[in-house]
Amino acid sequence: MRGLKGKRIVVAGGATGIGAATVERLVEEGASVVVGDINVAGAEATAKRASENGGVAIPAAFDLSDEGSIQALIDGAVSELGGVDGLFNVGADVSDANLGRDLDLLEMDLGVWERTLGVNLTGYALAAKAAIPHILEAGGGAIVNTSSGAGWSGARVRPAYSASKAGVNALTRHIATRWGKEGIRCNGLAPGLVMGETQIRQANKEMQAQALAAALSPRLGRTEDMAGIAAFLFSDDGEWINGQVWSICGGMHLRG
């Protein structure tokens, strides 16, 4: 891809899954990456793996639910890399203790609702808020937010998760509209069932079979699928794409 060599990108949620695969792809394409995650050991392992062939990947501890920690992540990236050209918001609280208790509205646990929106939506907004001044100072760049098909399709469960992702879509369009003329591109990725570490653990055979039946592809998603699209949106090849939320799902979200 054109234009990724030398780019300075923060991956906010890069310890595992889509985030980790994207770190590796970005470094492979020549970008320098700060790998932020609450899972510090995972961030360190991802950074080590990504930089084995001489690239730059720097692990950093951060908590997407804490404004000070988010600001410290961006400030640390500026200090380590000399600036920031891009931000990949990919973290979320999909733990069994949180997502597993996100039931229907009548069974709402307010703590789960607030935690989900606080991490999945407010955390993204705060990360973008911290990064945008530096991206503007760099002359422009890109933000990519991780959304979900749940942000626009109805679901019998997980209303907090769905609401947070619908909010991510609106946030994405706001950033693109407000700062697009100043050189900032902001787009979203809405994955289908992508078999990262968490999904392998959480998605039973029945769920996988349902997702595969709904897809137009003969397989489920791989983290590398998402990494390639994210890298494209950060690259110069994606320069004329702004304010879009792409459904990367093997056709799962296609409706007649």
Q: What is the chain's pLDDT, residue by residue, as a tens digit (256 residues)?
A: 899 999 999 999 999 999 999 999 999 999 999 999 999 999 999 999 999 989 999 999 999 999 999 999 999 999 999 999 999 999 999 998 999 999 999 999 999 999 999 999 999 999 999 999 999 999 999 999 999 987 887 788 899 999 999 999 999 999 999 999 999 999 999 987 665 566 556 566 777 787 778 777 887 768 899 999 999 999 999 999 999 999 887 777 775 4
Location of structure tokens 């695969």: 21
Contacts of residue 200, defined as CB under 8 A and 6 or more positions apart, other chains included, come to: none
Location of structure tokens 């320098």: 32
Active-site annotation, residues: 161
Q: What is the pLDDT of residue 199?
A: 59
Give the angle subtended at the CA of 134 by the CAs of 132 and 137, to the nearest 5°. 110
Enumerate helices (H) and strands (E) in the chain, giving the number of each. 9, 7
Q: Rounded to whole angstroms, what are the CA distances from 75 to 13, 61, 158? A: 16, 13, 34
What does the alpha-carbon distance between residue 92 and residue 241 come to, in Å, rounded to a whole number?
25
What does the alpha-carbon distance between residue 141 and residue 134 come to, in Å, rounded to a whole number?
10
**Sign of the torsion formed by the C-alpha atoms of 179, 188, 241 and 34:** positive
Residue 189's H or E segment, with its range, is strand 184-191
Q: What is the pLDDT of residue 198?
A: 64
